[in-house]
């Protein structure tokens, strides 16, 4: 039996491939073998809004508008600098980078615990050191071994221990808990990568930025490709929101864990932001 996210993922893929035709709710429901009424309820449970409203967030014009509107917000965010904690949808995240010596040793003497669990965006792998979370990545059944091998390759000298119970608790804290405790991230990367990842932490929920705009705000306007490479190398998915970076045209661009998953993340948090604003500012009554 498919999980809610697998059904949503299939629906997203269908809409993305047939966007020109503007598929109806009935057509989308038929593609995922559900009744329109059930798909409507599933969307509301997963995203908090109706499918019609959700589909608006998949429109390139909406992405372009968000790119334009994000600029003043980002100017403020970047003006305060890259050190210290950043707010991420009510989740306080702070980072601690490994020292150059530790980076060169690639985890020598470090114990890393890890485990697999579920999220609103599918199955994921999380790993952490004594300092904090060092990896969060998504995987389908066919890519489990690949992701595990990849993370071990990034910390080849570390001592690895599986801790499924703690992994499940941490994932619930990240994706489900209403009252979240502060989370620490343990980042291993070059100075430039760390600068880009810290910049991503300042992107507000529901906002997006282009690769070139991100490069400009890092005072490296000619380094768009290097910025894109650093974004793609992000070791901690979702918490460091690389899914919020789009091409200047408003197109999704690439995403390490699949474009459908990137689209799901963007549309879900934009929808949550939209519904939150609507609740905070209800329409006046005549």
- Separation CA 8–CA 97 (nearest Å): 35
* Residue 125 DSSP symbol: E
Q: Is 242 a catalytic residue?
A: yes
Token couple for 80: 């305060």
Residue whose structure tokens are 């429109």: 59
Per the DSSP assignment, residues forming a β-bridge with 95 are 185
DSSP 3-state percent helix, strand, coil across the chain (nearest 5): 50, 15, 35
| Count of other CB atoms within 10 angstroms of residue 212 | 15
| Count of other CB atoms within 10 angstroms of residue 88 | 21
HSE (CB half, 13 Å, CA atoms) of 98?
Answer: 23
Burial of residue 275, with CB atoms counted within 10 A of its CB: 0-12 exposed, 13-18 middle, 19 or more buried: middle
* Residue 34 DSSP symbol: -
Q: Tell me which of 63, 77, 88, 242 is the catalytic residue.
A: 242
Residues 6 or more apart in contact with residue 211 via CB below 8 angstroms: 224, 227, 228, 231, 245, 246, 247, 248, 253
| Count of other CB atoms within 10 angstroms of residue 208 | 24
Q: So which residues are the catalytic ones?
A: 242
């Amino acid at each position: 039996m498919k999980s809610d996210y697998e059904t949503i993922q299939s629906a997203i893929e269908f809409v993305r491939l047939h966007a020109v035709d503007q598929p109806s709710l009935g057509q989308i429901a038929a593609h995922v073998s559900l009744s329109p009424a059930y798909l409507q309820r599933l969307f509301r449970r997963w995203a908090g809004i109706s499918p019609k409203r959700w589909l608006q967030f998949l429109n390139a014009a909406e992405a372009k508008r968000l790119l334009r509107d994000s600029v003043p917000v980002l100017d403020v965010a970047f003006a305060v600098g890259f050190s210290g904690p950043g707010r991420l949808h009510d989740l306080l995240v702070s980072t601690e980078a490994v020292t150059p010596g530790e980076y060169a040793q690639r985890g020598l003497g470090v114990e890393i615990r890890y485990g697999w669990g579920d999220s609103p965006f599918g199955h994921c792998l999380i790993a952490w050191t004594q300092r904090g979370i060092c990896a969060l990545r998504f995987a389908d059944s066919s890519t489990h071994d690949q992701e595990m091998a990849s993370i071990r390759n990034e910390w080849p000298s570390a001592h690895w221990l599986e801790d499924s119970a703690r992994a499940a608790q941490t994932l619930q804290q990240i994706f489900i808990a209403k009252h979240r405790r502060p989370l620490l991230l343990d980042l291993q990367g070059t100075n430039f990568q760390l600068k880009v990842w810290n910049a991503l932490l300042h992107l507000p929920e529901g906002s997006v930025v282009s690769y070139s705009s991100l490069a400009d705000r890092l005072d490296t306007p000619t380094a768009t490709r290097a910025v894109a490479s650093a974004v793609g190398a992000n070791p901690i998915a979702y918490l460091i929101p690389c899914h919020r970076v789009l091409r200047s045209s408003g197109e999704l661009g690439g995403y390490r864990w699949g474009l459908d998953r990137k689209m799901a993340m963007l549309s879900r948090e934009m929808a949550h932001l939209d519904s939150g604003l609507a609740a905070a500012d209800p329409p006046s009554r005549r």
